[in-house]
Each structure stands twice: as C-alpha cells, then as structure tokens.
Structure 1
Amino acid sequence: MNLTVYTVLAGMFVVLLASPIRADETTGSPLAVLFQGAPKYKDANGNWLKLRGRVYYDVVALKETPVGRGQTQINANEFRAARLGVQGRYGKFAYVGELDFAGNKTSFKNVNIAWKGPVTIRAGQMKTTNSMEEQTSSRNTSFLERGMITDAFGLDRRLGVSIAKTGNNYGLAAGVFGNSINGKQDNTPGNTVLSARGSFAPINEKTKILHFGASVRYTDRAALAPKRSARWGAHLAGEKINPQIGGEALLYGLEAATVFGAFHAQAEYMREDGNLGFAEGGFVQVGYFFSGETRKYKAGAGKFDRTKPLRPLSAGGFGGWEVVARYDRLDARRSGDQQADAWTLGLTWYPQSHLRVKLNYTDASGDKFQADGLQMRLQVDW
C-alpha cells in the first residue's frame, strides 16, 4: 500500500472522529444529508447514495511450536482491511462497489446490483449463501477472525446471481456462482458453485432472539484449483490446517443463535464431503455486554447487525463494553491433514457506533502444532 493510500485513509479516519456520531438531517432542502459514519445523501423519493469503507489495523504477538521443531515468535502488524467504496439505491435498484487495498494488493469485494421487489434478485460479486457467521459483516462479528470453518471450506465472494425472499422472521436465499472477479489473486478455486440457505427466528423481539438456520453448497472444483487452508484464529499465524476435499464436493451447515438482553450466543457446524475425503468443524461462542447493550439482529437476512453503544463518548459516556468467549474446532484428519482446536477470549470496546477496539487471546493446539497469541484491532467503518 503506497503513501497516498495511507494518507487518504488517515484523512477519512480523522474526519470520522471529528464529525458528530449521530444522524442529523438538513432542513429546507429536498436533498437530505445524514451522517451514518459518513455523509449519506437522500432525496424525497427515498433514493440515496453514500460512501462506504472500513479500516482494520491489527497488532499481534504470537507463539507457534510445530511438533518436533523449535518455537517461533511472530510480532507483527498489518492493515487487515482497508476498503473504499460506494453504495446506494435508486427506485427498486440497490448497488454497491468496493475495493480493498490491504495486503499490498488491490482487490474487489462486494460489486453487485440488486432489484428489490417481492423477491430480491442480485447479480455481480457477492458472498455465496452459506453460514450466519459468514453473512454477518466483519464489522459486526464478535472476534477478530471468524471460526476456522469459514476459511477451510472456502466461504467467499464470487461472481454470480442470487435470489432471496425475506419476511419478518425468516429468510430464504439461493444462487449460482462461478469464479471470483479477482481471479487467482483471491486464491479462489476455479469452479461452479450452487448454494442455498434458509433461516427462521421463532422469537424475534428487540431484546430476545432465537435463530435457526441451515445451508447447503455443491462445488465442482477445477482439477488444478488452489487448495484451501485455515489458520488457528490469527490471520498472521504461520501454522495452517489444509483439508483436501477433492473435485466435486457437497457441503452442509447448521446454525443456531440466541439473544437475551445483554447476553448472546451462537453455534455453527459444517461438513464437506468430496472424492478425496471429508472435513468437518464448528464453533460455539457466547458474549455479554456488561454496559447493557443488546446485540442487534436482522431476521430477514438471518445475521447479526451493528450494535450501537448506549452511552457513547460523544454523549459523555464510556462507550459499550463486551466480553466474548469461543471454542472452535476443525477436523481434517480424513482429508489429508490434522485436527485443530482453539479457545479464544475477547474484550471489545465500542466508543462510538462506528468505532471498535478489540482484544483477543487465543490458545490453540493441533496434531502438528501448539500455539497461542494476543491480538488487538483498531476498527473504524463508515
């Protein structure tokens, strides 16, 4: 990432901090300007346009000990994400386009257009329709990194077409996908993907949620497609779990989540079977806002949304405070590699609705390694 990009991102971060963190609408004009992390322009007909983006800056101190070898220490930092984009709506059409400059490369993330009627039809680059954890934006996940299954099974963005039907307490979605718009740069296997997901919330109240979901995915991988891998809970870790599923593969997943006031919990299980073997895994996590917030949920999408602090710094408060814990497992013993287990404890501070500071400690062990590490993230989005 060059100096110009650093300067632009730093400038946006300063603007965000200096701006009032509330939605103020201008008066006396047919064009309303709201502030929701960044200016949002909206006309009297409901059409709107806004800049979007996010910056995650991570600092880590990790230790890894492969079986039969000496310990390695990793003290490093990185921009885990540095995205800029635009999104909006015009009539029944919604659109989004976003670039990520992290990792010394430029890649497309969400780039799609959707028609919103009785159903939503979307075309372009988007996530396949699998997993509550994957559908929940990284802006709103509980930990620095998602559970190991999301990387191990290649839950990612691809070019495709999807259709979705949502209601007050349910969501149904399906799609057909090809390769990523970024090609080999994303290390995305060249293949065809068919996926479907359904979710249902029998309890869907402001402070009480009960969610169930299931998804399935069929993948026809190219013979020489790059292999998938998962790290043990730290993006800068060196040790990986490398399941080799094979060409044609069928994945299915189950998910459940609940919210009860300041408490929330989530669990997922996935298994993928292919001609070379199978892998399975999942996680269970819990969290509690001891500052009194309730984790926000979107029933139609079957995912978690932005949690806003009850007493932000801008209102003279101390922000929101959350403690989280997770047990995470990935078993690739029957697909050419190892089993790994990871325990993570975390503390998250929400000074404002678009700012977070995360601290995670992870202790992990596999058939081929032992590891642990402390990670901290400064996160801002708009």
Structure 2
Amino acid sequence: MARATNVASRRDSGVRGGSNSVASSVLGIIGEILLTLAAVLALYIAWQLWWTGVEAEQAQADQRQDVSWVNPKQGGSGYSIAKAQSGEPPVEPKSANTGDLVAQLYVPRFGSAWHRNVVEGTDAYQLSRHGLGHYPETQMPGELGNVAIAGHRSGYGEPLAHVDTLQKGDKIIIRTKNYWYVYTYTDYKIVTPEHTEVIAAVPNEPGKTPTDRYVTLTTCEPRYTTATHRWISYGKFDYWAKVSDGVPKELSTGDASGAVEFSQGESSPLAKLSASMTQLIIGLAIAYIVVYLAALIAWRYPALKALRTGHRRAPGASIYGWMYRHQPGPLAIRWVLMIIVFLTVVACLFEWGFPWAASNIPYLQVTSNFVAVE
C-alpha cells in the first residue's frame, strides 16, 4: 500500500513538473518575442532619428557632385577671405525647378563644418532627402524681399534641430553657385502652421513692398512630439561677396600656421555606406553561406550531437536557442554565424523594413514624415 502511494505521489509530481515546464517554456518564448519587439522598436527610433540623416547626407553629397559650382579662391596660406562687395547684390539663381539645388546654407553657430543643401520646394520628399527647401513663392538670394527656407528639426539629418541656440548677431550665410549672401540673425517667433505671413516678402507684413532683404528659417515646434507649431527664425541682409574671391570671414578658421581653413563638408564613411546598403546585405548573405557550409563540412552540428548522445542536458524552449543549436561548428563559429544573421536582419530592416513601415502604417506615417525614394 505504501509503495502504491509513493508511485502515485511521483506520478502527481511528474504531472505537476511537466505542467510547470510547459508554462515556463511558453513564458520564456513570450519573453523572447517581447524583447525582440523592444529591440526592433529601438532600432526603428535609431533609423528615424539617425540613419535617415545619414542617407540624407549622402543624397546631398551626390547632388553637390552633380553641379558645377565655383570653388572658393585659395592662396599660399589656405583659402582667401572674400571681400565684402558694395552695391546691389546679384540675384542667383533667377529661377529653379522643384528639386534643383538652389543654394547651400551655413550657420556658424551650428558648428564650423555645418552646412546643408537648399533645394527648390518644401514638399516632404525634398525635405526628407535633400536637406532644406526654398519656398517657391518667396524671393531668391539677392532679391529684394524674403528668402524663406524650411527644414526638419528631428530626423533626416535634423538640419534645423538647434535653431533655439541662435543668438542675436549670429550669421546666417547662403552660398549659391557664384555668390555668398551674409545675413545677421535678429529674432524668432513661434506660430501655428496657418500663419503664412511669416514668409511674406516683408516678414509678418503681407502685401507690403520690400525695401530690404531678409532670410527666414521655418521648422517644427516642439522638436520630438507632434509638431503643433512652427519655430520661425529671422535674419536681415548684411553683405554679399564673390565665391571666386574666397570665403566669408565668418566661415574661416585658422590653423597653427595662420592658414585660413574652410570645411566644405565631405560626406562621412557611414553616409557612403548608406548608398551601398544592398551590396552590404548581399555580402553578409554570401559570408553566412560560405562560413555555414565550411563549418558544416568540417564539424557538422556539435550542439545537436551533444543533445542526442546525452552529453548535454536538454535545454528549455527558446527561439534563439534553437537557432544557435542549428548552427554548425564549434562555439566561436556558431557565434560568428549568429552575429552575421543579426547584422543582416538589421541591414534589411534599415533598407526595406522600416521605410515600408513608415510609408504604410498610419501612425508611423504621421510621426515620421517619411517619403520613399522613387
């Protein structure tokens, strides 16, 4: 009788143990799924706030290479300082089509190497891919009136992220094919989107005939949440100069020898990588196949063999554990293969997954302002 009771007790314990084991496995898998979703969300934020800027940087560099603009004059001691010209400034360009490179904007307050392209048009595609956009209904550089320029404040290179750091007297400099136009920052205001008078020929005085030249920068406010307002920064024309004479003194820096330096903003290695992301994915896939096959031929699946022969305790249910055990080769090789898989998945998300999500999921469409490259 006692023996029968012990057997029944062990059976009950086995049943309870089996139930607990199944529950633990299910909870473990749910935990892995949740952690994976959290990682994907973190990667999406990195893509939105950082990688879109890397891609925009490369797009701007490519666009600059496609135009023939005058190079600033250089002498024996670096770049020359361009002399401020008197008289009416030339208007350049006279006109432009949507997407054309109109100018480049330099703001020393944002950093000595900071500059962004300014293209014609302010639609989502131009602002997401090409830096800054010139409002077509406003004046061109050098023309009497207001050169109004729009840009993102977060993501896509966040060209106007730091407009709140501008101080009265700071310089805002527009460079076109042949000329520099130097403006002095005056003040700012925050308005709701319907206040279009901020980009009038005379800012905030629609219909008034301009007798001076202005620059207006518009961007979103607040920076990281739904943009309910617009941050408007104003500048007033100071002087113009010829690019063929050199660079404005406000953009020049000196080295130890006293030579005048000027950063023209070469694209970073990461920006160049963004242009060849598809090739990177193909390279990672080929690397995985080569290493996988070589390890399979040389060692087969030691982790699975250890389980079959009883030399290793059976592990709990795990998505990543299953993937890891099904990689061939010793420990180091399996880790290399897992890392290649991880990098390939991340690259695919950045290249195709996140752009698709930002273009097709309603909430992400609203928050990202993303426009797929055609």
**Do both share a fold (TM > 0.5)?**
no
The structure with the largest helix share of the pair is 2
| Greater Rg by CA | 2
With the length of structure 2 as denominator, give the TM-score of the two structures. 0.26
The structure with the largest strand share of the pair is 1
With the length of structure 1 as denominator, give the TM-score of the two structures. 0.25
State the structure with bigger RCO (CA 8 A, min sep 6), 1 or 2.
Answer: 2
